[in-house]
Every structure is written in C-alpha cells, then in structure tokens.
C-alpha cells in the first residue's frame, strides 16, 4: 500500500508540469527521439533530459539508446494507474449521489402516500 | 490553453501527495469537518490546513465555515478534468494500437493472398 502510494505520488507529480505533459501527449501518438520531444520546448537539452528522468522514474516513459539516438515510448500502464485512482473516487462520489437520490425519492414517495 | 494548462498543473500537483489524496478519498464519500480530515494524519493542524489550501487552490475541494466548524466537500468537476486529460491520452494510444493492428492484418492478408 505504501509503495503503491509512492507510485501515485511520482505519477501525479510527473503529470503536474506542462513540459512533461507535453512529452506524454506527444508520446501517446507514438515513440519519438529525445530531439523531437525537445523541439517544441524552449529549454536546454539537460533540462529536457531532467524532465524525461522524472517521467521515467514515474514509470510513464521508457527510453532506449540505439547508436547516438535515444528513442522514448509511453508506458500506458502507468497512466492507467492514475486513471484507476481517479475512477475509484468518481465511483464513490456517484454512489453517494445515487444513495442521496434514493433517499430523496423515498421521502417524496412517503409525502405522496400521505396525500 | 495556458490557463487550462495551469489548472492541470495545480490539479496533478495537488494529487501528488499522499495526505492530500487521503483527504480527497475521504471527501469522495461525503463532506467532512476539518477535524475529521485531520484525525488519521500525524501532522499539525496548520500543516493540514496548508494541504487543504492546496486542494482548494486546485479546485478539488471547497470549504465553508459555520460557527466554529469548517466543513469540506469534494468538487467532482475538477477530478473530471484530470480524468479527461488521461482519457484523451488513452484514446490516442489505443487508436495508435488499432492502426498498428490494421496494418499488421493487411500484411498478413497480403501474405495469405500470396500463398
């Protein structure tokens, strides 16, 4: 549980930056070289590599070097973990609204029966 | 777009902490007083209020003071924004896999036709 929590810490932290989200958006469309990921960003290559390191540590991206080119790819499973956590909250929240709706319907029915 | 990006920055940053996720998990089940949110946490009340401030700034939680009790509630719409961003990535990713599958099927069919 603690490890899982630490995973979610790293995941959400990694997604909390526009440059890193931009990289994930690009990589959702398919693998890309580091130079391609860096192209739209106005930052130094070391800064780009640091952001990539955060994404790799969070398990969101994996990279592989072939010759002089490092190619990055998305790890969809990690995004799935973040999605699952949010989904679980929505299910709880909607369940609560459903129960509230049932309760209000019961009150309404009791009111109708009294008429 | 910039504002929307800043919203996502705040949202994901807010979710990147176990104490704050714990508060969101509790509030998904229904509103709660600050004292109730603080109860499971081994931290000072000012620290709890600071975390709550981060959640409120991200639009994930709203709070209201009645007398001496501050009650907090989840803002489900904000969680929905985070979910939508992740969903959009999944759709792109799955679309890519579908196209790859179609391409492989085409190759297979061409191979079969050659037999």
Q: How far does B25 lie from chain A, in Å, by closest CA? A: 6
**What mean pLDDT comes out for the span B70-81?**
94
Contact at CB, B29 and A86, closer than 8 angstroms: no
Contact at CB, B16 and A28, closer than 8 angstroms: no
Q: What is the DSSP string of A31-59?
A: -EEHHHHHTT--S-HHHHHHHHHHHHHTT
**What mean pLDDT comes out for the span B29-51?**
95
**Contacts (Cβ under 8 Å, ≥6 apart) of B64:** B70, B71, B73
**What mean pLDDT comes out for the span B69-90?**
94
* Range of weakest confidence among A14-23, B40-49, B81-90, B95-104: B95-104
Interface of A with B in 52-111 (CB under 8 A): 74, 76, 79-80, 82-83, 85-87, 89-90, 92-93, 96
Note the pTM of the prediction, 2 decimals. 0.86
Give A87's contacts in chain B (Cβ within 8 Å).
83
Contact at CB, A96 and B28, closer than 8 angstroms: yes
Q: Tens of pLDDT along A5-48?
A: 999 999 999 999 999 999 999 999 999 999 999 999 999 999 99
Token pair for residue A82? 């973040």
Helix (H) or strand (E) holding B61: strand B61-66
Give A96's contacts in chain B (Cβ within 8 Å).
28-30
Residue of A nearest to B93 (CA): A28
* Gap between the Cα atoms of B99 and A32, Å rounded: 17
Has residue B115 got a pLDDT over 80?
no
Confirm or reject contact between A16 and chain B (CB < 8 A): yes
Contact at CB, A9 and B17, closer than 8 angstroms: yes
Q: Tens of pLDDT along B48-59?
A: 999 999 999 999
The structure tokens 């509230």 sit at A100
CB pairs under 8 A between A and B: 93
């Amino acid at each position: 549980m603690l490890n899982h929590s630490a995973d979610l810490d790293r995941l959400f932290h990694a997604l909390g930056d526009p440059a890193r989200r931009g990289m994930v958006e690009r990589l959702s469309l398919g693998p890309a070289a580091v130079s391609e990921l860096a192209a739209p960003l106005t930052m130094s290559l070391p800064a780009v590599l640091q952001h990539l390191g955060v994404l790799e540590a969070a398990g969101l991206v994996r990279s592989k070097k072939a010759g002089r080119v490092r190619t990055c790819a998305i790890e969809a499973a990690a995004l799935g973990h973040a999605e699952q956590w949010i989904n679980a909250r929505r299910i709880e929240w909607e369940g609560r609204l459903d129960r509230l709706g049932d309760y209000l319907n019961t009150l309404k029915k009791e009111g109708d029966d009294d008429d």
